[in-house]
Amino acid sequence: MTFRPGRPWLLVLTLWTQVGTGCGDVEKIVAVSYDDRHTATELDVYLPAGPPPPGGWPAVLAIHGGGWSKFDRSSMARASERLAGAGYATVNIDYRLVPAGQYPAAVQDCLCALAYTRAHAAEWGVDPARIATFGYSAGGHLASMLGVAAGAATHQPDCAAGVTGPPAAVVSGAGPQDLWLYPEVDEVVEFVGGGKVAAPELWDAASPITHVAAGAPPFLFVHGEDDWFAGVEHSEHMRDALAAVGTPADLLTIPGGGHLINRDAAAGRYDLVVVSTDTAEAWLAIVDFLDRTIGARGVR
Amino acid sequence: MTLPSLVAAVLGLATATAAAQPAINIGDTTAPPRHAVWLAVPSIDGSAGAELGGERGIAPRTGVVVALSARQTAAGDYDALRLGVAGEYRWYWRGRARWSQIDGLDRVGWFVGGRIDVATSRLSMGERHVGSTLVAGARGELGYRLTPWRGLAITGLVGLGGAIERDAAGRLPMQRNAVLGLGLDVGWMF
């Protein structure tokens, strides 16, 4: 099974699922460059309504999916608005895509965006100590990489925002966690920068599960049980690895849930949604997790 | 009641209902069947739930539908069961289908329908209650029913509409979702 999310019908579905959505009263700051050396490295900021609480808003760094080679931050716009509506300042980022974003460049870009967010926290009313990452698919992989591998020298960016530490919490939706679980499909080989035989060290280094160690931030995984693109075992293995070193890690699986096509639990139909994290129950779990970790409820 | 036992009970009820009806008389002057019951095939995919529907003819080429559904919507370290009810009004355009084997039956072939559904679920994590949701949707549907053998009814359909999700505790802003659904119902007319 290969990633082929660039087909025109998927674009139509993406647009369709975003028709008529939105959460008003959210202030947006759009198209901010967080690394002027590249054109892809832009972000949008979604701020909750009203003045920030003492200490600043808890925040979420949103990272889009697309097999490390497709899509952009528009696919996370709706989730970003909803998070902001729930009291989380949300920084929705683009990053360099393959080939320019080949590992470790995409990881470095995401860390640069996190460093930039912390550097501009006072300007946006954000608490720099309470920033989580939230990604879907390839974005879920990158969100996890920031959580467990921010300290690796090869991952730290050399951008103007400087180096930074890991996020305070991680939400990974349908994210690849162990790239060795994949066959040598083009998307993974092109992201990693070589095949399993030619570059096994890169397959290790680019897999979040390789970097699991004590002291990682808490994780929440959301994953469809019938995901053909990134099997649910990615999240199961990562959850177990984190738990083994004492890191809080929760997993919500969606019975019958896929990567792009899900069951409409309210209507007995196949529902052609774009992301399996976008269920009512997944959203409850995500906000509950954020409340418990970076603590929006305690400061609103 | 666990989900598997609930599904089994629903399926058993459907089977018993269908089996209790007299056989369809094909080719004679007996009145055509007025009722239909079915199972929504996508709802049982993944063995996590089921939707059972029923239709009653109320006028020529016109039927009203009621559907009940139950589906496990969270597992792993969480658990949730979503329960839903839906109502639909269907109008069969021409009242005939290429493979219909029931004389006089006019609720076959192409139809259009308007459907409203409501569902609720409660998410828990162990003993801890995480939250509850209410999902309500409305959609227009275009479908085709055929009855290739005795009372067997097979219906394929596509639906387009919208839904809203509401978090009972108000932690999340209400969300509107567009819905593009594909359905396949298999059942019996009697």
Please state the domain count of chain A: 1
Average pLDDT, rounded, for chain A: 90
With beta carbons under 8 A apart, name residues in chain B contacting A50.
none
Domains of chain B: 3-19+33-189 (2.40.160)
Reported as a single tens digit per residue, the pLDDT across A68-114 is: 999 999 999 999 999 999 999 999 999 999 999 999 999 999 999 99
Q: With beta carbons less than 8 A apart as the criterion, state whether B116 and B86 touch.
A: yes
Residue A224 and residue A214: Cα distance in Å, rounded?
27
Q: DSSP string covering A126-169, please?
A: EEEEEEEEEEETHHHHHHHHHHHHTT-TTTS--STT------SE
Q: Determine contact: B179 vs chain A, CB below 8 A.
A: yes
* Res A277: pLDDT: 74
A5 prior amide bond cis, ω within 30: no
pLDDT at residue A13 tops 50? no
Q: Which of B48, B159, B172 sits opposite A86 (nearest CB)?
A: B172
Confirm or reject contact between B40 and chain A (CB < 8 A): yes
Least confident of A186-190, A274-278, A292-296, B130-134: A274-278
pLDDT tier, A24 (very low <50, low <70, confident <90, very high otherwise): low
Q: How confident is the model at residue A275 (pLDDT cuts 50, 70, 90)?
A: low
Across the interface, whether the CB atoms of A86 and B125 are under 8 A apart is answered: no
Is A1 part of a structural domain of the chain?
A: no
Of chain B, the end-to-end C-alpha distance in Å amounts to: 30
Q: Which residues of chain B fall below pLDDT 50?
A: 1-3, 6-7, 10-11, 13-27
Which B residues 76-135 touch A at CB under 8 Å? 76-78, 80, 82, 84, 86, 115, 117-119, 121, 123, 125, 130-131, 133, 135
- Closest partner residue to B165 (CB to CB) among A268, A280, A287 is A280
Please write the tens of the pLDDT for every residue from B107-161.
Answer: 999 999 999 999 999 999 999 999 999 999 999 999 999 999 999 999 999 999 9
By C-alpha distance, the chain B residue nearest A283 is B172
**ipTM score assigned to the predicted complex:** 0.89
Nearest CB to A21 within list B43, B76, B176: B176
Domain membership of residue A87 (yes or no) is yes
Q: Give A272's contacts in chain B (Cβ within 8 Å).
A: 180-182
Asked if the structure places residue A2 within a domain, the reply is: no
Angle between helices A77-85 and A280-293 (to 10 degrees): 60
- Predicted pLDDT of residue A161: 95
Instruction: Tell me, yes or no, if the pTM score tops 0.90.
Output: no
Closest C-alpha among B136, B182, B74 to residue A270: B182
Quick one: what percent of chain A has pLDDT higher than 70? 89
State which residues form the domain around A114: 8-299
* Element (DSSP H or E) covering residue B40: strand B35-40
